Structure 1
Amino acid sequence: MNDGTITLPWLVVRQDDNGNRYRVGRYATRGEAQKMADSLDVRGHKQLYWVERVAQNGTG
């Protein structure tokens, strides 16, 4: 973060019925990401949501 940018190392990922995966959003803390994943999961759709940390080199 020494270049003035905000680091958002936590991803919420969605997997649909066909196994396709999509990034839903990026968050600064695991707690924020988990709260979003939980709120999406409660909707009762068949998608699966989870949280993962972005690798140090910036790839997810």
Structure 2
Amino acid sequence: MTDSGVVLPWLVIREDDNGNRYRVGRYATRAEAEQVADRLDDRRHQRLYVVERVDRATA
């Protein structure tokens, strides 16, 4: 939950070719997160954008 009370349980994570993972953003819906990941995905590099749901207990 953010300070404004909005729940953003979906993350877009970038994983580089060395296995490092970076959070790109948080989104309210899976569809929104997948749309962002699809736009960021660049097949010329070995970067992978994945969508993951955050567990409420760890958010």
Runs of 5+ in structure 1 lacking a partner?
A: none
Q: What SS does the corresponding residue of 1:33 show, helix, strand or coil?
A: helix
Distance in 1 (CA, whole Å) between partners of 2:17 and 2:58 is 28
1:39 match: 39
Identity of matched residues, %: 62
Tell me which stretches of 4 or more aligned residues in structure 1 moved more than 2 Å: none
TM-score (norm 2): 0.84
1:1-60 correspondence runs (5 A):
5-41=5-41, 43-44=42-43, 45-59=45-59
Gaps spanning 5+ residues in structure 2: where? Answer: none
Q: CA RMSD in A?
A: 1.8
The 1-side partners of 2:39 and 2:24 are apart by: 12
Q: Give the Cα–Cα distance (whole angstroms) in 2 for the partners of residues 56 and 17 of structure 1.
A: 29
Give 1:56 deviation, angstroms: 1.7
Please give the TM-score of this superposition, normalised by the length of structure 1: 0.83
Counting matched residue pairs gives: 57
